Structure 1
Amino acid sequence: MNTPRRPEPPPPQGSDGTPSWRPSAGLLAAAVAIVVTAVSYFVMSPDTPSGLPPVAAAQPAPTAWERLATASALPSATEASTSPRMASSPAPPASPMDGVDPTPDLSNYVNRGETPTMHEVITRLQHNHVQSGLAAFSPPGTRPPKIGLAVPEDLVLPPGYVRHHQATDDGQRIEAILMFAPDHRIVDANQQAIEMPKDRVVPPHLAPPGFPIRTITIPPPRAQ
């Protein structure tokens, strides 16, 4: 005996009497799955700075072995403290004590109780690479005074000639002598160059015309 089928309920209608539309359950499930997949992709993907090339953004993260190798290549704390780059910076100079002159004194080169001669003092200073003060002069007796023509103080010298001033080892003044100026050249009557003395001291026969011919006298050493 056949059971009569129940009549299907009429579709819902809107306020104006037209049938209303409802989405199916399958379409809703598909839409939710798409939204969830898109959100998961943007949340779980690594941040990539804008402007980087796709290759750089797609580089894989370093492995644990790569991070270990990089860390072992870096200097340790002890190596960094003894690195030449750290030691290359010069240390600040030590400041002298208040009221004490750090410049070496003559007493730094003479032992207590010694009474060296001036020759010994200058020689010792120059041996210690001192070039100022007394050490700027030659030791006594090593450079004897030059002997030449005396130049009167009020005499005007012609071009090519100069005065040369000297002093004895004990500080006595010596008369100025006549010397040729540096790079000066003289010629004879035939315009031939005359050989210049190596010490540039003017001999009597090369003195300028009218020059008084008189040789200087070296004063004797002072009595001790």
Structure 2
Amino acid sequence: DFGYGHSLAISSNGTILVVGAPFEGRGRVHIYDLTKDYPEISRFDGNSKDDFFGGSVSMSSEGEGEPMTVAVGAHAVGEDGVTYSDNGGEYVKVYKFLKNESEGRKEFTHFGKTITVSRVGSFGFSVSLSNNGNWLAVGAPRDDSAGSNAGKTFVYQIGNRRISLVGDIPGKKKNDWSGFWVAFNHDGTKLAVASPKPTEGNETVRIPSYHIIDVST
């Protein structure tokens, strides 16, 4: 069992499908063009064994002057809190659907540098791109900077040449696991960050708590 389908994203026109398989080798992401007879058009692997690469995926739309963008998270830490990767393995990679001039066709290409943050827990557990591909949110629900497992969400701007960290949103208190889920709206002006808080009296049942951040201000 490679965890095939652990994470999914589909383009707004329904033609491109991204499938994460975080337990396949070093973790793998398959990208399919559903209009083709042989639909797999790209395949990307994680950096090392047990990175959980493909544990989270997100995709933007392709608009005028804006290439389709895919973000893939590798969080390395299981929900049991155990770090499985020997090399840390907490990172996010971004791919853009760009024209290969030598072959005269478009293909997904690694864009910018691999995104990493030092001393962060489960960075890449969740990812979300705005629909225009200009903004990226990355959740790290086991980050301890605001308290043990308080969590944190990092916000990046994706430019024409590089990816820049804009800011971060820490959890409110210990064991918030803030950033467990993240979601951008269409143009990246609003970001939802969720925390799976335990139901009172039953630590095994979790109900989500969330807040909306206005990124445009």
More strand by share: 2
Taking structure 2 as the reference length, what is the TM-score of the superposition? 0.25
Choose 1 or 2 for highest CA Rg.
1
More helix by share: 1
Taking structure 1 as the reference length, what is the TM-score of the superposition? 0.24
